[in-house]
Amino acid sequence: MPLFGSTFSPKKTPPRKCASLSNLHMVGRPIREIELGLEYGTPTVNLAGHSLKFENGQWVAESGSFTGDHREMQRLRKRNQQLQEENNLLRLKVDILLDMVS
């Protein structure tokens, strides 16, 4: 007999019910997409008047959105090529100067 009353004895918990009563987990993906409407399409973003869409893990400009900036992109590519050539020339000069010093 316990000193301060009855001993603590919790009630037995009832068994858990099934997590999902839906049978959609048993059907294939295309049927689930039709049933639940999971066809969202590709995400698109509009930034400063330029429309971009997400395809194959990269943001790609939608066709026709950069037509006005085509000349700007060509100019930037040409400038980038010039800077790469200048960088290569300067590295060559540094190598020659280091050889002369040693």
Q: Region 78-89: what's the mean pLDDT?
A: 97
Each residue of 16-28: pLDDT tens digit?
Answer: 776 666 666 667 7
**Predicted pLDDT of residue 80:** 96
CB-count exposure of residue 78 (10 Å: 0-12, 13-18, 19+): exposed
**Predicted pLDDT of residue 29:** 74
H helix runs in 4-101, sequence order: 29-36, 70-101
9 pLDDT above the threshold of 90: no
b/e per residue 18-43 (b: at least 16 CB within 10 A): eeeeeeeeeeeeeeeeeeeeeeeeee
pTM for the structure as a whole: 0.36
**Predicted pLDDT of residue 5:** 67
| Distance (Å) of CA 10 to CA 1, 3, 5, 7, 14 | 18, 19, 15, 10, 12
Each residue of 27-82: pLDDT tens digit?
Answer: 777 777 777 776 677 788 888 777 888 888 888 877 655 555 677 888 899 999 99
